[in-house]
Amino acid sequence: MRARLIPVLVLVLLALGLGAPAASGAQAGFDFSRAEVSVTGLQVPWAIAFLPDGSALVSERNTGRIMQVRPGQAPSPVATISGVRASGESGLLGVAVSPSYAQDGWVYAYFTSTAGDNRLVRLRLAAPQTQEVLFSGVPSATIHDGGRIAFGPDGMLYVATGDAGATSNAQNLNSPAGKILRMTPEGGVPSGNPFPGSRVWSYGHRNVQGLAWDEAGRMYASEFGQNTWDEVNRIVAGGNYGWPVCEGTCGNGSYRDPIVTWSTAESSPSGLAYADGALYAAALRGQRLWAIPLTDGTPGTPVAQLRSYGRLRAVATGPDGHLWVSTSNRDGRGTPVAQDDRIIRVPQATGEGGGPSGACTATATAQTQWSTGYVIQPVTVTNDGTASRPAWTVTFTLPPGHTVTGSWNAALAVSGQTVTARNTTHNGTLAAGQSTTFGFQATRRSGDTGLPTAYQCS
């Protein structure tokens, strides 16, 4: 095994007692002392993505199923991905929901196929058997298949791939393996990519399984090391992250060093989420959730949480304001209990009044009106509290006979005359005092001059 340079950051963290169990309690906006098991009976869940109604889609690696889950209810299968080959670490991996799901209904899935590659498909839950292949030909193996997919704040789809056990793939810009790819929602090459005509966004990766963005749009990825150092990296367009030349901190100007490292026994990080000024990394071998405070993209000392649930695979911030974390104890490397696999939900920390610290408000402006319709823009959502919020929901009332025909920067669901608007993946987190906006269009009967009322934010 080649000699490694020990990162100074790791020595500092170890000196501070990083490996010791952390006391339970509030951490960066979440109260881990009130964590609870909300879903049971899953089979090797791999990814979590949320629908506009607040329920979650969960991919099962070995069964090829996409399950719909709600807290306190049994998981329900809503789709089965065709042609999944599950062996070792491969199978059905990432799942993502279109930021415009209320309009287009698309669900995206990334998996290892029986054709011998990793590929990306999309489908609609109304006709789940119809699955459109958007991108294929990513090298696959029983190890290092990457698999995390997520929409960024730019509306583009990011896909993390592994080196498929062939280390040379990571530095080869002609191979999609060992990369983070950026593509349009249709699978094409978007403008602004660093390498003309290529989906490659960053390279030199061994096995990325976590993607997240902070409120400033900075991108982060969690990555498995080989024998020594696991990583969290700040991702920039065109960045080379060093594998296989470097594992952990390299100190070579040709490669970008990680912002956090752990020993592989402490972590083996898979899922990654950002909320309330911190990154959260789900650790498999480490069997804990790492909470990493950030200040303008600079990490503080990571704190270990949720150390009594076994292997942790996925972590996501839910529209209910909770942190959702899934176990992976039935993947052949864990010790499952009867309820496994599970989803644990961690509530927001509460203020002195017993509710979430702070409040939010929503105000609406009618931008354009005509005889049979109108556009409401902007609806301004403001965090009036003293702490960051990981998600928001706005409800309002439509006059009788009005119909919503489109929306942007929010996912809308209509029940009778009540409309519920939830944040998208790119505008959910609001720092204290920060605002964001969304808009929608609706129709009404000719001569009707009514407008929606009773905007409320939660």
Tokens representing 120 are 């990306």
pLDDT at 132: 98
Chain-wide mean pLDDT for the chain?
Answer: 90
Q: How far apart are CA 407 and CA 414, in angstroms?
A: 12
Q: How far apart are CA 316 and CA 306, in angstroms?
A: 14
Name the 3-class secondary structure at 293: strand
Which of 4-13, 116-125, 263-272, 376-385 has the weakest average pLDDT? 4-13
Q: Of 312, 390, 408, 406, nearest to 29 (Cα)?
A: 390
Task: Check if the beta carbon of residue 329 is closer than 8 Å to that of residue 310.
Answer: yes
pLDDT band at 155, cuts 50/70/90?
A: very high
Whether residue 144 has pLDDT greater than 50: yes
Q: Which residue has the tokens 């090797």?
A: 44
Q: Which residue has the tokens 């040709």?
A: 254
Task: Check if the beta carbon of residue 208 is closer than 8 Å to that of residue 200.
Answer: no
Angle, alpha carbons 215-218-223 (nearest 5°): 120
Q: How far apart are CA 333 and CA 284, in angstroms?
A: 9
pLDDT, tens digit (0-9, with 9 covering 90-100), for 318-376: 988 899 999 999 999 999 999 999 999 999 886 533 334 446 788 888 898 999 999 99
pLDDT at 360: 79
Task: Check if the beta carbon of residue 276 is closer than 8 Å to that of residue 295.
Answer: no
Q: How far apart are CA 332 and CA 366, in angstroms?
A: 56
Tokens representing 96 are 């993502």
Q: Which residue has the tokens 């490397």?
A: 333
Tokens representing 453 are 């009322």
